[in-house]
Structures are given as structure tokens and as C-alpha cells.
Amino acid sequence: MEIVPQLIVNSIIAGAIYSMVALGFNLIYGTAKFFDLGYGVLTAIGGYAVFYFSSTLGFNIYISIILGVLVAGFVGYLIEKIVYKKLRARKASSMVFMVAALGVMTTLQAIIAILFSSQFQVFPATINTQTFQIFGGVITGVQLIALTLSIVIMFVLVLTLRFTKFGKAIKAVSDDAEVAKMVGINTDGIISKVFFIGSCIAGLAGVLVGFDTGIEPIMGFSLLLKGVIASIIGGVGNIYGGVLGSFLLGFIENFGIWKISGEWKDAISFSVLIVFLLFRPNGILGKKQ
Amino acid sequence: MKKIVGILVIILVVVGGIYFFKNKPTSTKGSGLKVGVILPLTGDLSITGEKLYQGVQLAQAQLEKEGVKFVVEDSHSKPTDAVSAASKLLNVDKVDVIIGTYSPDETIAVAPLALKENKDVFSFSFCSDSFKPLTNVFCGYPNADKQLDTVVPMIQKKGIKTMALVDANSDFGINSRDAMVRKAPSAGYTVVYNELVPNANGDYRTFATKIIASKADSVFVTMDNPVDALTVVKQLRELGFKGTAITFVDVDNKNLEKFGSFGEGTFAPGIAPSQFSSDYTSMYKAKFSGTPDYVSALGYDMTTYVVKAMEENPGKGSKTAVFNYKYKNPAIENFSFLEDRTVVYQLELQMAKNQQYVKAEY
Amino acid sequence: MDYLIHIAILIGIYSILALSLNLIVGYTGLLSITQAAFYGIGAYATAILLTSFGMNFFLSIIVGMIITGVVSLAIGYVLSKFDGDYFALGSFGFNIIVYSIFLNWQSLTRGPLGIPGISKPSLFGLDFGENIIFLILVIIFALAVYFTSRFITNSSFGRVLKAIREDEKAIEVFGYNTLFFKLTIFAIGAMIASIAGALFASYITYVDPTSFALSESIFILAIIILGGLANNKGVVLGVVCLVILPEALRFVGFPSDIAAQMRQVTYGLILILLMLYRPQGLLGEYKL
């Protein structure tokens, strides 16, 4: 293992997970137009669902993964229907959405802790234990899968948005929900589906983190914050931006720890956020409004 | 609007009523012993709090048969709430002693309140230097220097010359780091890497990278949560670290199982499962199934020791009682308190072998 | 009884905190989620000045307020460049940065070890060690803050704040320098929060970073949203509810090991239900 290549690999691994969170978060922000602070807890739901299926019920690990991701998607879909849709119908301000999302996050995290205890858990089986060497840096099989998936998801989303009718409808709703409605697009339906897809992605991120390290009820919040920082750095609402911001954040954090002491890791990330908010609030790839 | 306020007022009145009728302050003169327990049952520290509670519950089951009353409160892992819990236990329930809490900061916050009521606090915390001036506080976990006495012989036998220190940014981590740095000259190693890491982080890869770059023979990991410490070791091994790994954590096979082959060969000072008394092992298995772990045994021993001491020395106060009492049949071999209000017991260096902790071989 | 006095002191301290945040969020419409940082600066200022320099408690409050005021002006200035959602996110960020400083600037704050042994206040030989006397001190401060808050919000200064909340662009057209007003109220709110911090430090006699993390800021926000934004009486009602609630739950036999998780569930549900059905809170006049 050589130092700089390893740091690069570490940064990429972190970036891959952050980018999944950022992708889903951005998708939701683009259509529903609010910062869903409750989004992070869906990663925990995905992870715990897989844990439940594979550990408590004894299902095969791959089936558990698929079920877990779907459970996360479904929960996200339900929350949208029960809470956010009503707020949208009332044209509530974005502050109301944010506070409601905080409420969602607090409630769901506590419920997970009641059901599964706060103990850190790992999955009973693993999907890959190999390690590989890339230009002098070590990466494990699970991490490689996470990296691949994040890129794949990014491309799938981009292609869907550009070439499918569904994707174009999403774009229309993002650009202007009122106009989209007038043109006959079922905005509520689109937003529901977007929440489902976004939440599935979050669940998948949680599952991958679970395989790499493990799960605990509060894992979602810090992942969410990283995803938010990444989105803002890269450009909110922009698919490529979220991914770019994520990898950039991964690099800043890991090289930051390398040079400055590790205790300041969080402060570094948030300082970067504030610098961007000050000087380039639309992010690197964001549109200048 | 009036309806909502009305409902709230009713709720408050009902709760207040329950409080008054359920908890009329009773004098403890002549009636049974009343024990207050404070634990972090929720919040960041709940992982350990839940384990401690298991041991306390086992002790409670036995002692309640002898007429001792227990009141258990949650500190929510916050010093302010620990103070609220202590205030309630001391002023409303009028307990004779407080057993708990778990973290040093909760304990330091609670101590003055207990002192005012002339009551002692038997904390499960490790024996931090901050406790020395608090004359009514006992601690339940030997401090770093005592634990490290078991590690030094191994370091010297194996010829370890350089060490990397990874410590959680917490009271426990800082105390451990300071102790390891103090021991270095006499034990013959040099500290080549020394970093405080954010607690409960999950991603320690870059720290691992720095450690490997420092070319240390060994790494000494102290995290508040045993699983975090093992995660650091796992990530070190994944990146190719070949040196000796020592974790300063509670020895619990259930944690090792989660890490498979990565834990193999890791040293840890502690109590092996085989050192628990057979009584305790069967008691634990009956209620919780599986083998007991060190933390729950601590919960059991602390509670039983203090309560039994007070039963045998009525009216003398918990401190005098404890110093006059010989604790028989502890769950942890040779568990006893010292004159300086710290605790001592038989620690041994353990090693992970085939996903079980066994007595270390080197 | 001492336990009730203890609860009353907590209610007093949180009332001061909530009133301070209400000035910023409720009256001016700035969604700031970083009040715990100012609470913490006040607490640490008192802690350090009392333990290392033996300063008088009341003097330390003044020093703490000055430090907090300066820091809050800096933070407020940066935050004023953002609007809406970004303001809240930026404030999150500052809370986390300040928390990191409490945790990592160990030569000053002793980091996670915290600062123990903070003495109770003393003035003209009057010893505040007795809790009932400390409670009276807290009540005096709380009343002072309450009336100051009312004075500010009823004045013409307060009217400009409300106008900023309703439509900032409109009032700018009239020539008002909104930046000045926003910064001023942000600093005032911060300084009041630091008073609460000083009281907290002296009462518990020990401070450590965990009391000033992001979750504390969220808690204070929940109090004023529940009680009612821009309504000072409502704020106190919110404090009473949310401080008494966990203590009441101690008596109402929730199985111990899920009691505080249930409290979290309750908080979360309160926030959600309020947003859905009553966004102005119990007594508030301002719908978020």
C-alpha cells in the first residue's frame, strides 16, 4: 500500500457512498423543491430491513438486499403521501417542510432504536471478501461494488431523465410544476414516484455501508449532511453536480485528515460548505440564476 | 385552540396526580433499603447502558426478594438529564445510595447533588483522574494504568519497538492515550503516531493509512464503543497492516463474531468469559441466553456488592459499609474496592483466536 | 421540594433560550438552527472565567455576552448572504463548527473532559448555593429577558423585524437597511442565549461539549414552534410542555428501556402534526 494512491482510493470510496445519497437527495429537491432532512433516515431503514430479513427471518442475503431496498423506497413513498403531499397542497413554505422533515427523521430514528436497540449491527453474511490493488491502493470487493453501483445509478438516472417520457415529465415538474400540471402531467404522481426511487437509492446506500462497516439507528444523519454538502458544492438540482460534489468532498475530507489532525474532520467539511455558500452558492455545475 | 390548551392542561393535571399518589415521600428510617439506579438507557451511550442494565436486573431480581427497593432512571446519555434523574431519586424517592451512572461527564454532574444529601455515587465509569477530588464517588472500571500493566509484558516479550495510538476523542480515549504515552519509556516502545479520532465514525481508512505509513510495529486502539475499535482493526488489516493490534475495550465474544477473521490475533486486556463465576454465567443464560459479557457482569457486581454491604452494615452509610464488607462470590473474579474508591479485579491479557477470546499466548 | 425547584430552574433556563431564539425565528423570520452554539459560548465563558480566574459570576456573564456578541455578528454576517433554506443549512454548519471547537480546542476547553467545579454565584456575601435562592436568581433573569423581549418586539424596531419577516424586499424599498436590523437581532438573541449558558454552567457546576450539539438547537427550535412563534407567552408554554414531558414520563411507567425513545417519537410526532395542522404552534401568531 502506498500512501497517496491509498488516500485517493479512500476518497473515491467515501465519494461513492456520498454520491448515492446526493443523487437521491438532488432528485427529490429538484422535483419537490425542499431540503428533505428526513432523507437520511431512509439509509438506516434500508440497512435494518436487510438485517431483519437476513438475520431474523433467515432469508438469502441477495433476496434480503432487494427486499430491503424496496422497503426503504416504500417507506419514503408513504411519508411523501402522508406528510409532504398535504403540505404541498397547502402551499406551505419551505421552512414548514424542513421542520416537518426534522420531525420525520426524529420519529423514524427512535422507532428503529425501539425495534432493533441502538446496538451496532452487521449482516450475517457478506457478499464479497476479496481485496484488490489499484495502482498501489487497496480496495475491498464491497467497496468496489459500491463504486460501480454509484456510477451505474448516475448514468441510469441521466439516461432516464433525458430519453424516457417519465424522465421528461420529471424534468418538466422540476422546471415548473404549475406549468407541468397545466400541460396535463400528473405532478403528484411523478413526485410520489420520485420519492420512491430516491428512497430506494438511499436504502441501497445504507445497505452498502452496512456491508462495509455496519448499521446503527443514527447512521442516516451524518450521511445526509455529507450528501447535502456534496449537493451544494456540486450544484443543487444537478445530477452530475451531486456526484462531482460527493467525490470532491471525499477528497477534501481524506486529504484534510492527512494534513490536519483527524479531530477536525467535521469542521473541515462544514467550513467547505460555508465557503461555497458564500462564494458560489450555485455550486460548481449549478446554473447561475 | 382552547381545546388544545385544555387537553394539555388535563394531561398535566393527570400526570401530576399520578406523581403525587404514586410517590408520596416516605421516610426510610426503619423501612427497607432503597436503591437508586441511573443508566444511559437511551441516547449515544445506550449500547453500554443496555448491557449494564442486564446485570443490574439480575442483581435486582435477587435483592428484591430480600426487601430492597429499586428505582431505575434513564439519564438519556446527557449530564443535564442525569442531574434531573439524580434530583428525583434523591429528593422524591429518597434513595439511600445511587448506583450509576456510566460516563464520566454524567458522574461528575451528579456528584455534587449527591454530596449535598450525604449520599454516595457508585459509578460504572472508568476511574478518571477527574474523580479524585470527588470524595463521594466510586468508579467501576480500573483506570488505564492498571489495565496496561497486563499489556506491557507482552510488548516486551514480543520486542515491540514502535506503537501507533488511536484514541477516541473522549475522556476515556484521552486518559488511555496519556497512560500509554506515560508507559512508553519504561516499557521500551516509542510512540510514532498519536491521533484523537472522532467517536463513532465508521470510516477510519485514512487514519489507517497514516498508521501504516508511520511503519509502527503495533497499534493500540481505544474507542468508547468496542465495535468501533474492532472496525479500526478491520480496516487496518484490509489495508495490509501486519503488526500487533491491541484494543482497549470490553472483551465480548459477540463483538468478535461480527468481524470474522479480521479480529484474529487482536489482544485486549480484560476478563475472559471463563473468569465469570458459574453462578453468574447460569443466571445470565437463564434470563438472556448466551454467555455473559464483562459489562453486564460489572452491572451485577457493583449493584450486589453495594447493596449487600449496606444490608450487613445498616445505618452506617454506603461508603463505610463498602469498606467494611467482604464481597463473596462475585461474578468477576476478585472484584473489590480499594481505599481510593477505585476498583480492582483480576485482569488478564486476552487474545482473539477463532473468534473467541482466550488467554493470550505470546 | 428540591426536585420541583430543579425542574423550575431548568424551565427558567430554557425559557431564556427559547425567548432568545423567538426573537430571531419568530419575529424576524430567520430560520436559525445554531442557538446551542451561543448557549455554549456563554456557558464555557463562565466556566473558564470562574475556574481559572476566579472571576465574579455576574462579571463573567458580561464578558460572555461580549464574546458571544462578537462571534454572533461574524456568523450572522456570513449567514445574511444566504436566504431561506440555505440560511438554515448554513446555521447548521456553524453549530457543528462551534461544537468542534468546544471539542477540539482542548487547551482552552479541556475538550471531552469538560470543566468541573464551577462555583455558584456570590454577590454581597449572598450565597446562591441554596437551590431556592438560585431559582430566584433564574426567575429574575428570565423575567428581565421576557420584558426586554416584549419591549423590543413592541417597539418600532420590532415592527421593522416583523416587516422583514413578512416581506423583506418590500421594506428595503422603503429605505430600511435590513442587514443592520437582522444582524442586530441575531446578536441580541445570541447574547441572551449566552446568559442562559452562564446560568446553566453555574447550576450544574460542570460543562462539556455534549450539551451544546446540534440536537440541542433542534430542541430549542421545537419548543418555540410548539409554543407558538412570535408569541412570548406561547414560548414559555412550549418550554413548560417540553421540559416537563420527559420528567413526567419518568413517573408514568413507560418500560424504562424505551422511555426516552418514546420521548423522541413524541417530539417527532409533535413537529409533524404541528406542521400539518397548526403551523403557528399553540399560541403563535406567525404561520411559518
Residue-wise pLDDT tens digits, C257-279: 566 677 778 778 887 888 888 87
Q: What is the mean pLDDT of residues C73-85?
A: 84
The closest alpha carbon to B255, from B219, B293, B218, B198, belongs to B293
Please give the single-letter amino acid code of residue B219. V
Which tens digits make up the pLDDT trace of C134-176? 899 999 999 999 999 999 989 988 888 888 888 888 888 888 8
Between strands C206-207 and C115-116, the pairing is: antiparallel
C-alpha span between A165 and A171 (Å, rounded): 10
C254 inside 8 A of chain B by CB: no
Residues of C in contact with A261 (CB under 8 A): 104
DSSP annotation of C113? G
Question: Which residues in chain C have their CB less than 8 angstroms from residue A237's CB?
Answer: none
Q: Which residues of A touch C80 (CB under 8 A)?
A: none
Ordered alpha helix ranges (H), C23-155: 35-53, 57-79, 84-104, 106-109, 131-154
B200 min Cα distance to partner chain C (Å): 14
Type of residue at B37:
V
Q: Does the pLDDT value for residue A175 go beyond 90?
A: no
Closest partner residue to C97 (CB to CB) among A93, A108, A270 is: A270
Q: How far apart are CA A261 and CA A257, in angstroms?
A: 6
Evaluate if residue C246 carries a pLDDT over 80: no
Contact A252, A157 (CB under 8 A): no
Checking if the pLDDT of B32 tops 50, the result is yes
Q: Which three cell numbers stand for residue C121?
A: 454565584
Residue C168 domain flag: yes
B interface test, pick of A11, A115, A117, A119 with most B CB neighbours within 10 Å: A119
Could you give the 3-state DSSP secondary structure of residue B358? strand
Using CA of residue C128, residue C132, residue C136, residue C137, what is the dihedral sign? positive
- Taking an 8 Å cut-off on Cβ atoms, the answer to whether B80 and C204 are in contact is yes
List the Cα angle B228/B234/B236 in 5-degree steps: 105
Range of the domain at C123: 2-212
User: Using a CB-CB distance cutoff of 8 angstroms, which residues of chain C are in contact with residue A116?
Assistant: none
SS3 B193: strand
Other Cβ atoms less than 10 A from the Cβ of A133: the count is 13
* pLDDT score of B130: 83
What ranges do the domains of chain B cover? 30-141+278-344, 146-270+347-359
Q: Is C250 on the interface with B (CB under 8 A)?
A: yes
Q: Which residues pair with B349 in a beta bridge?
A: B269
Higher pLDDT, B274 or A147: A147
Task: Give yes or no for residue B83 having a pLDDT over 90.
Answer: yes
| Mean pLDDT, chain A, whole residue set | 86
Candidates A7, A55, A118: best to mutate against B (most CBs of B within 10 A) is A118
Give the right CATH number for A3-279 from 1.10.10, 2.60.120, 1.10.1740, 1.10.3470: 1.10.3470
What is the share, in percent, of chain A residues with pLDDT greater than 70?
98
**How confident is the model over A111-134, as pLDDT tens digits?**
998 888 777 788 877 777 778 887
- Contacts of residue B5 in chain C, CB cutoff 8 Å? 237, 282-283
pLDDT band at C45 (very low <50, low <70, confident <90, very high): very high
pLDDT for residue B144 is more than 80: no
What is the distance in angstroms between the Cα of B206 and the nearest Cα belonging to chain A? 6
> Distance between CA atoms of B85 and B16, rounded to whole angstroms?
17
Beta strand B267-270 with B348-353: parallel, antiparallel or unpaired?
Answer: antiparallel
A134-148 confidence digits (pLDDT tens): 777 888 888 888 899
Q: Do C261 and A113 touch (CB under 8 A)?
A: yes
First-to-last CA distance in chain C?
A: 39
CB C97 within 8 A of CB A271: yes
Q: Which of A117, A120, A263 has the CB atom closest to B225's CB atom?
A: A120
Q: Provide, as residue numbers in chain A, all residues whose Cβ is less than 8 Å from the Cβ of B197.
A: 262-263
Exposure string for B27-53, b = 16+ CB within 10 A, e = fewer: eeeeeebbbbbbbbbbbbbbbbbbbbb
- Please report all neighbours of C, defined by 3+ CB atom pairs within 8 A: A, B
If one counts the domains in chain C, the total is 1
Query: How many alpha carbons lie under 13 Å from residue A26 in its C-beta half-sphere?
Result: 32
Alpha-carbon gap, residue B54 to C191, rounded angstroms: 45
What number is the average pLDDT over the span A76-93? Answer: 88
* Minimum Cα–Cα distance from C274: chain A residue: A100
Partner-chain contact A109 C264, CB within 8 Å: yes
Distance CA C128, CA B341 (A): 30
How many angstroms separate the CA atoms of B128 and B142, rounded? 9
Q: Among A40-49, B251-260, B337-346, C223-232, whose mean pLDDT is lowest?
A: B251-260
What sign does the dihedral A269-A275-A278-A282 (CA atoms) show? Answer: negative
Sign of the torsion formed by the C-alpha atoms of C191, C208, A264 and A150:
negative
* Domain B146-270+347-359, CATH: 3.40.50.2300
C288 at B interface, C-beta within 8 A: no
Residues of chain B found within 8 Å of residue C219, distances taken between Cβ atoms: none
Question: Chain B partners of A120 at a C-beta cutoff of 8 Å?
Answer: 47, 225, 227-228
Read off the pLDDT of residues B276-324 as tens digits, 9 standing for 90 and up: 888 999 999 998 877 788 888 999 999 999 999 999 888 888 898 989 8
Residue with cell 450475517: A124
Chain-chain contact of B87 with C208 (C-beta, under 8 angstroms): no
The ipTM of this complex is 0.83
CB B174 to CB C113 under 8 A?
yes
What is the pLDDT confidence band of residue A264, given thresholds at 50, 70 and 90? confident
Give me the mean pLDDT over the A76-83 stretch.
93
Provide the CATH topology of domain B30-141+278-344.
Rossmann fold (3.40.50)
B-interface mutation test, from C210, C233, C252, most B Cβ less than 10 A away: C210
Chain C residues touching B25 at Cβ < 8 A: 1
Q: Which residues share a beta bridge with B276?
A: B332
For C30, name the nearest residue in chain A, comparing CA atoms only: A95
Query: What would the mean pLDDT of B106-115 be, rounded to a whole number?
Result: 92
Q: Provide the 3-class DSSP secondary structure of residue B279.
A: helix
Inform me whether the pLDDT recorded for A22 exceeds 50.
yes
Coil/strand/helix, residue C134 = helix
Q: Does residue B66 contact residue C229 with C-beta atoms inside 8 Å?
A: no
- Note whether B227 contacts A118, CB cutoff 8 Å: no
pLDDT at C67 over 90: yes
β-bridge mates for residue B99, sequence order: B37, B122
